[in-house]
Amino acid sequence: MPIPPYCLKVALPLPLPGLFDYLTEDGKAPDQDWIGCRVRVPFGARELVGWVSAVGVVETPPEALKPIVTRLDRTPVMTAELLQTLRWTAHYYQAPLGEVLSAAVPALLREGKAPPDVCMYAWQLTVEGDAGIDSLRRNSKPQALATRLRSGAVPEALLDSDTKGWRSSMRSLQTRTWVERVALNRADMTGTTPTTDGPALNADQQACVQALQAAKGFAVHLIEGVTGSGKTEIYIQAVRDCLARGRQALVLVPEIGLTPQTVTRFRARLPVPVHILHSNLSDGDRAQAWTAMAEGIGRVLIGTRSAVFTPMPEAGLIIVDEEHDSSYKQQDGFHYHARDMAVLRAKSLEIPVLLGSATPSLESWHNADIGRYRRHRLPERAGSAKPPAVRITDIRKIRLQHGLCQAMLDGIAACLNDGGQALVFKNRRGYAPALLCHDCGFTAQCPRCDTALTLHAGQRRLHCHHCGHQKPRPPACPDCGSLALQAQGFGTERLEEGLTAAFPDFPCIRVDSGTTRRRDGLAAQLAEIGDAAGILVGTQILAKGHDLPNLRFVGVVGVDESLFSSDFRAHEKLSQLLIQVAGRAGRADKPGKVLIQTHHPDHPLLADLLAGGYPEFARKALDERQLAELPPFTHMALLRAESVHSETAQHFLEEVSALVDARRRELKLAVHSSGVLPAGMPRRAGRYRWQLVLNATQRHELQNLLAAIRVEVHALKSSRKVRWSFDVDPCDFL
Ligand code: ADP
Ligand code: ZN
Ligand code: ZN
């Protein structure tokens, strides 16, 4: 048999680097149309679904080559660009391509199922319908619907989003053959739906929009715009421009940012259906959105983290809203950062990417400083809205009621009596962070983690926020038998209890991950209070997302712990949180007030924020990072390992550490290694956790080292006894 010169290079979902060679079913040389198609292939005793990444020359001995079992797609499901980016991503994050594919591709497609039908439908009036409208009962639902169709076909996606119960009205029209359902083709996707007008952009906004219009090819734009400065208006205009050029747009938002409000706002203003992608969707819906974009039927996608891996054959723009948000970083498995991936994809797609935030990450800030990103400043709120007045109140030696000082209670009372809403922010859910024995000092600890248990459900239960362990509160101290067990500190539940007692005439709504577990939980809760005077108490969930037009007072309680954290990013995170929460006050025409109660009124972080806002903080923090040789001036990678027996993980990392030392000497790489250290939380969910921190001034030196040890680490016997992972550009050290 002649040796076939060409084979399929297939990416397989395996913890192994590289591509695998296969022959086509009939042995014929494959053409380029295979790239991006899925194939079912034999692998050992199993069959796997893989992606044809390239067609190329055979590199393995030909007798070892096997033909594929079946070709699953006739036309590519993935673009060549995306496949290439995913492979590069796997290399960058030292992750197996299989894991990268799992994060990037909807489950249905990974399993080899057919891509869903993404044809979209619209409804239009028939000739009879057009003549018949006037005979319909006035102001009835069918009449309103038929009247709307008079100005053209309306896509179902749009009706779904803006007209409740439209299907039954449509059915009644259809039985008279007054309306018909038509399939939309791609040309219809570029501007059929009517849109509402937004405000005229101000000069700062226009400058940014024009810079984007003028952008050719890849460029990163960073909007540093205070809350309410009109960033979202810029996004909308930029997406409209992109659509008008016949291109697709991707808008990434943080987990919490993808609210019905956000989606409604984009839908109202864009002339095409808006697709949604997030992790709470069903497998079918995820595959639907992904495929719609891949086939070009979808023109705009709003999604959370993993949406960054959506194929876009006609990509024109990527936007990352709240680019500093930590939910963009995947914390387990394949530790990618969606903001960085967005920049990478924009580069490989040769399109602009727009990053926006009131509090940009120090990484992005630095990139703008050195001219790698183009900075656009929106220092003022759009329209007539005024910035909030921020005050700090010293609570040393002050008597607190329900954990709140008198100034805080007065501030809330004044706001409520004026008909406004007050937000009390505490970054701690549950009733109280600890249960303490007043007689012997015992505190309730999680048996599986190095952490205290949090009191919940009034005071009836103890929960671990790290492993989910739960138990009833003990009636007496397990150590000394005393009944003097006390709740220590304040969580959102306890604040809610206190605020309800202090302000019995006003509604008090608690918002934290405990109360918003259902996806529409938060929306429902906020709808309940509406614009009425009342109190919202909650965690960072309240720091962003929903627009609260009547919010006039923000009280910040209990930031003191974060002022003294050992994590080098703690101050950055805290500043962002404070600015974001404070930015919620007084968005409309009523100016807002912000009060921060603290035992450390002179802390430099608070002083900087008060004096010069986030820019002042960012400048100083970057100077400190530079002196301390920390990111973004250096580059970091973490090797984490955990196991039930502490020595097993520790021993594995010691071996890795030896490898690191050997390779960096051999290859003369300037990479600093921390040696093996316990993780920020040395035990979690019954596993002991260790880490190794690598740090280098030059990114390529770090990358070279990681690439050099990767295969060897996989080959270590000790690696099979522990859970371990690489975390390149780690965001936390817990
Ligand atoms: P951000 O995304 O920066 O928080 P938004 O785009 O949501 O800001 O704008 C905040 C509010 O100001 C919104 O109600 C928006 O409609 C309004 N707004 C934005 N730009 C303008 C403008 N140029 N003129 C008047 N109002 C504006
Ligand atoms: Zn005790
Ligand atoms: Zn625990």
Q: Is 224 in the pocket of ligand 1 (CB under 6 A)?
A: no
Distance 233 CA to ligand 1 centre (A): 6
Res 4 pLDDT > 60: no
Q: What are 127-136's contacts with CB under 8 Å, separation 24+?
A: 128/176, 128/177, 128/178, 129/173, 129/176, 129/177, 129/178, 129/179, 132/176, 132/178, 133/178
| Pocket lining: 538 vs ligand 1, CB cutoff 6 Å | no
463 has pLDDT over 90: yes
Judge whether 685 and 723 are in contact, CB under 8 Å: no
Say if residues 585 and 388 touch (Cβ distance below 8 Å). Answer: yes
Q: What is residue 588's predicted lDDT score, i.e. its pLDDT?
A: 62
Exposed e or buried b for every residue in 1-14, given b needs 16+ CB within 10 A? Answer: eeebebbbbbbbbb
Q: Give the pLDDT confidence of 105-163 residue by residue, as tens digits.
A: 999 999 999 988 887 788 999 988 888 888 888 888 889 899 888 888 887 877 887 78
Burial class (CB in 10 A: 0-12, 13-18, 19+), 481: exposed
Residue 405 pLDDT level (bands cut at 50, 70, 90): very high
Q: Which residues contact 676 (CB under 8 A, 6 or more apart)?
A: 650, 653, 654, 657, 690, 691, 692
Nearest listed ligand to the Cα of residue 450: 3
pTM above 0.85, yes or no: yes
Mean pLDDT of 13-27: 84
State the pLDDT at residue 459.
Answer: 81
Class for domain 203-378, per CATH? alpha beta
Average pLDDT for residues 37-53, to the nearest whole number? 93
In this prediction, residue 194 carries a pLDDT of: 60
Phi-psi region of 230 (alpha: psi -120 to 50; beta: other; left: phi over 0): left
Angle at 289 between CA 287 and CA 295, to 5 degrees: 95
Output the average pLDDT for the chain.
Answer: 90
The torsion of the CA quartet 74, 75, 80, 86, rounded to 10 degrees, works out to: -70
Dist. CA 173 → ligand 1 center (Å): 40
> Measured between alpha carbons, how far is 148 from 143 in angstroms, rounded to an integer?
9
Interval between CA 367 and ligand 3 midpoint (Å): 39
Residue 86 DSSP symbol = H
Q: Whose CA is nearest to atom 9 of ligand 1?
A: 230
- d(Cα 450, Cα 400) in Å, to the nearest integer? 30
Q: Give first-to-last CA distance, the chain, whole Å.
A: 58
Residue with the smallest CA separation from ligand 1 atom 4 is 228
Looking from the CA of 654 toward its CB, the CA atoms found within 13 Å total 6
Residues 633, 695: Cα–Cα separation, whole Å: 10
Q: Where exactly are the structural domains of the chain?
A: 6-110, 121-183, 203-378, 389-429+491-619, 635-728
Is ligand 1 within 6 A of the CB of residue 201? yes
Which atom number of ligand 1 is nearest to the Cα of residue 233? Answer: 6
* Shortest-distance ligand to the CA of residue 686: 3
Report the phi/psi class of residue 676: left, alpha or beta, with left for phi > 0 and alpha for psi in -120 to 50.
Answer: beta
C-alpha 95 to ligand 2 mean position (Å): 48
199 lines ligand 1 (CB under 6 A): yes
d(CA 327, ligand 3 centre) in Å: 22
Q: Summarize the confidence of residues 318-326 as an average pLDDT.
A: 96
Tell me whether the CATH fold assigned to 203-378 matches the one assigned to 389-429+491-619.
Answer: yes
**Cα 181 to Cα 39, 160, 287, 703, distances in angstroms:** 35, 15, 24, 55
Give the Cβ contact number of residue 417 at 10 Å: 12
- Report which protein residue has its CA nearest ligand 1's atom 25: 383
Q: pLDDT at position 520, please?
A: 63
Nearest ligand to the CA of 437 is 2
Question: Which ligand ends up closest to the CA of 231?
Answer: 1
Query: What's the pLDDT tens digit per position in 713-730?
Result: 989 999 999 999 999 999
Give distance in angstroms: CA of 549 to centre of ligand 2: 48
Pair 422, 536: CB distance under 8 Å: yes
Q: What number is the average pLDDT over the span 10-31?
A: 86
Q: What CATH architecture is 635-728?
A: 2-Layer Sandwich (3.30)
Quick one: pLDDT at residue 134? Answer: 83
Closest CA to 258 of 214, 289, 225, 222: 289
Angle at 311 between CA 306 and CA 316, to 5 degrees: 105
- Looking at residue 121, its amino acid is Y
Q: Which atom in ligand 1 lies closest to the alpha carbon of residue 226?
A: 3
CATH 3.90.1150.10 fits 389-429+491-619, yes or no: no
For the CA of 681, the nearest ligand: 3
Ligand 1 pocket test: pick from 202, 224, 233, 235 the residue with the most ligand atoms within 8 Å of its Cβ: 233
DSSP state string for 640-705: EEEESSHHHHHHHHHHHHHHHHHHHHHTT--EEEEEEEEEEEEEETTEEEEEEEEEESSHHHHHHH
Domain 6-110 has CATH 1.20.120.1810: no
If one compares 615 and 3, the residue with the highest pLDDT of the two is 615
pLDDT of residue 479: 95
> What is the β-pairing status of strands 300-303 and 274-277?
parallel
Alpha helix locations (H) across 105-259?
A: 107-110, 127-132, 141-149, 156-162, 166-175, 203-214, 231-244
H-run or E-run covering 610: helix 604-627
Task: Report strand pairing: 389-394 vs 593-598.
Answer: parallel
Mutational test site, ligand 1, from 196, 223, 232, max ligand atoms within 8 Å of CB = 232
Ligand 1: atom nearest CA of 583 is 4
Cβ contact 122:156 at 8 Å: yes
What's the average model confidence in pLDDT over 343-366?
97
Residues flanking ion ligand 2, Cβ below 5 Å: 437, 439-440, 442, 477, 479-480, 482
Over 50: is that where the pLDDT of 516 sits? yes
Angle (nearest 5°) at CA 670 between 669 and 674: 110
pLDDT band at 191 (very low <50, low <70, confident <90, very high): low
Cβ neighbours of residue 672 under 8 Å, at least 6 residues apart?
694, 695, 696
Residue 541 has pLDDT above 60, yes or no: yes
Q: Which has the higher per-residue pLDDT, 567 or 699?
A: 699
Residues 6+ apart with CB under 8 A from 313: 79, 248, 294, 296
Distance of CA 24 to the CA centre of its chain: 40
Q: pLDDT tens digits for 591-614?
A: 899 999 999 999 999 999 888 889
- Locate 453 and state its tokens: 């248990």
CA atoms within 13 Å, Cβ hemisphere of 186: 13
CA of 200, closest atom in ligand 1: 23
User: 421 CB under 6 A from ligand 1?
Assistant: no
In this structure, which residue's CA is closest to atom 20 in ligand 1? Answer: 230
Give the ligand whose atoms come closest to the C-alpha of residue 584: 1
